[in-house]
A and B are shown apart, each in its own frame.
Chain A
């Protein structure tokens, strides 16, 4: 068919557009030459300089801690928020609540960042590690809420009712039935929250303080000075890290799915 050839062309071009810059970036992190346009042969020297760059390593450590803490906190709050949206059809201020879940998704970061900073100043809280975590938690929890919400929408409520019917109290039912079943979405939410936190420059810049320089802030200040293969190296490591994470989760969920299907088959054969 003609349209399928058109479709294939469109997809090829678009994916080339999406991936070529990243591939180039990765390739040039192994470039022995400092110049972007000159290929000086394969080398790992930029990884070595990166490794010995203490400022960069400190920033990476701060970022990792901020990411884990804010993603965990954001996942907990976001899951609760998703439950509220799906399970509580009516409560005072529900409109405002769902508004506050959706707005951060599109709100320009400069506005979110600035407004939070002003809150911390007004409350007389010194900016630093914890203010970045609070800021990140606030906007990542909204993403988690959306991810978990979409899973909860397709959740079969009768499973919970069955547990309650069999004498399991509500809170225990949540941990024994609901949470295990929405776990893939919760994990995906955590991953998303973690990478968003890892990614964020603007909100962190507003809310950080002395001793809490995150990796994007560090990278940004270096990028402004020009392109260096050292940045390519750290970017490559970040990309590799995230790619492995994403692929691992998707393989993990797929394997869980396959196991489930296989178990069901075994179970069916056992009964007939």
Chain B
């Protein structure tokens, strides 16, 4: 038997309970939120020769006022002056939009087919979609190099089937097409799973009701199935669109020299040119571009929860 004082302690709100919230909260504040403030601050500072290659941020709290006067938008101005950056942003958006559309085009019929499969088969199908996602992203992109390169397996396949002359080679590797293939391949599970969970939840009697009221199946798809799967469409599109915009590995390994993507630009700026403030500015602008899609995504997730 618990003593009286113990039982009372259990009933009154226990301050230790708040540790459950406080620990992960503080961790995220320190390691996820705070860095964003720093990146913003550094994007406003000058490049210095010192290592680390920017003027320090925390020289002492008394000097904050001095700092504000030192802040400048030079890096941002530079982004607008060199057309390379604007082109890279626009190209990233273009590639992300097209890939998201392609992913929907492939992912929707797939998710629909999964949702309509016999219920005994569905867990296996879901497992099959998830499994490639567990294998390394890098490995999956790498696998395509061997297929797409001019002396690779695709050329060999097309030559043996006679679609290509023996001396011809398919020129996809290091083009935007290869980037699209890589993106669609890598992100397909991310698109299919939210679509599937939206479609699988759907009550089949709604389609029966539509049919009963005189609506043929293809029309019922556009009037009932598609509108009801919109939350899944939005979730899937955002989950793909946002990271694709900042994608680095795929354009770097599969794309050509003329494949412009902002993730690649940022990487080069940081690792190649070691211009940290400019890299920060690039990141901040990218983040601002993505604020709206991220907000849509968050909103969608909240509705699901």
Contacts and interface: CB of A to CB of B under 8 A. Distances in A.
A227 B189 CA distance: 25
Candidate in A104, A149, A235, A238 with the most chain B CB atoms within 10 angstroms = A235
Nearest to B1: A167
Contacts of B216: none
B82 to A, nearest CB: 19
A261 interface: no
Interface stretch (A41-49, A86-94, A264-272): A86-94
Interface string B223-256: 0000000000000001100110111110001000
Interface stretch (B63-71, B73-81, B83-91, B283-291): B283-291
B145 interface: yes
A170 B14 contact: yes
B31 A106 contact: no
A106 B297 contact: yes
A110 B28 contact: no
A91 B184 CA distance: 40
A57 interface: no
B27 A141 contact: yes
B238 to A, nearest CB: 7
A114 B275 CA distance: 12
B212 interface: no
Contact of B294 (A24, A35, A98, A106): A106
A118 interface: yes
A167 to B, nearest CB: 5
A87 B21 CA distance: 10
A105 B188 contact: no
B187 to A, nearest CB: 11
A138 interface: yes
A22 B242 contact: no
A197 B116 CA distance: 34
Interface in A158-217: 164, 167, 169-171, 195, 198-199, 201-202, 205-206, 216
Contacts of B112: 7, 10
B152 to A, nearest CB: 6
Nearest to B107: A14
A219 interface: yes
B215 interface: no
A256 interface: no
B217 interface: yes
A8 B301 CA distance: 31
Nearest to B295: A99
Interface residues of A, number: 90
A70 to B, nearest CB: 12
A110 B137 contact: no
A52 interface: no
A238 B139 contact: yes
B119 to A, nearest CB: 14
B71 to A, nearest CB: 16
Given A111-B286, A198-B136, A223 B142 contact: yes
A108 B146 contact: no
A258 interface: no
A169 B10 contact: yes
Given A84-B21, A106-B243, A111-B286, A118 B128 contact: no
Interface of A: 3-4, 6-8, 10-11, 14-15, 17-19, 21-22, 24-25, 28, 35-37, 77-78, 80-81, 83-85, 87-88, 91, 93, 96-112, 114-116, 118-119, 121-122, 134-135, 137-138, 141, 145, 149, 153, 164, 167, 169-171, 195, 198-199, 201-202, 205-206, 216, 219-220, 223-224, 227, 231-232, 235, 238-239, 242-243, 246, 250
Interface of B: 1-2, 6-7, 9-10, 14, 16-18, 20-21, 23-25, 27-36, 38-39, 42, 52, 56-58, 106, 109-110, 112-114, 116-117, 125, 127-132, 134-140, 142-147, 149, 151-153, 155-156, 185, 188-189, 217, 238-239, 242-243, 245-249, 253, 263, 266-267, 270-271, 276, 279-280, 283, 286-287, 290, 293-294, 297-298, 301-302, 305
